[in-house]
Amino acid sequence: MSTRVALILGAGPNIGSQVASAFQARGYKVALASRSADAAQNTDSKVHVKVDLTQPETVGAVFEEVEERLGTPEVVIYNAAVVNVTSAENPLDPSKINVEVFSRNLAINTTSVFAAAQATITAFAKLPDSASKTFLYTGNGLIAKSSPRLVDLGVGKAASAHLIQVLAQTYRGKGWKFYYVDERQADGGFSMPVSGEAAAEFYPQLAEGKEQETWLQTFVKGKGYVDFSGK
């Protein structure tokens, strides 16, 4: 059996570490990519790769390094996000967010997602039919309800959601899966930040699914997918 590899981009101490442990428990080798990655922590089944997601052009090199060290990733999780909180009265207040900051944040929230998706498609094409071939993007409810104070994060999530929807529609015939994953409370309210424990429970379930389900995966901890589209 070929080595199963999961790559987590934006691997922090919450979702990143807990999701990594969940995939390792299922026999995956795991690559954790972040700006603070420490290669001294590398093991035979887990590697840490430095990446600055404000620089989308460097994302491809992460995939190359992971393939060289562990193998071709069959599960890719994009978990990075950033926001500059503004005011409800003046969401474009230049003292809180200017064009330079907005562009930098958009690179993390969306442009590097595009770069990762391109590299993922290249990776998936190399894998056997038995591989999971799943791309997971950690989203939130800002695509369903706007928030003036989180305008740059909302713009990034909305743009990335469109990308995920396009990819899910385009590649479902190949058995490649693309998901925007949005944790909610039982009443449909936002969960921000996403619970690492909840993600560690739900993300492997999506990866182990045989076919593309609805691209927008709103889920509740302990329950799994819940359709909140009518609320």
Q: At what angle do helices 59-69 and 112-124 cross, to 10 degrees?
A: 40
Residue 193: asked if its preceding bond is cis (omega within 30°), the reply is yes
Question: Distance between CA atoms of 112 and 118, rounded to whole angstroms?
Answer: 10
Question: Distance between CA atoms of 103 and 101, rounded to whole angstroms?
Answer: 5
Q: At what angle do helices 112-124 and 151-171 cross, to 10 degrees?
A: 20
| Residues assigned a catalytic role | 157
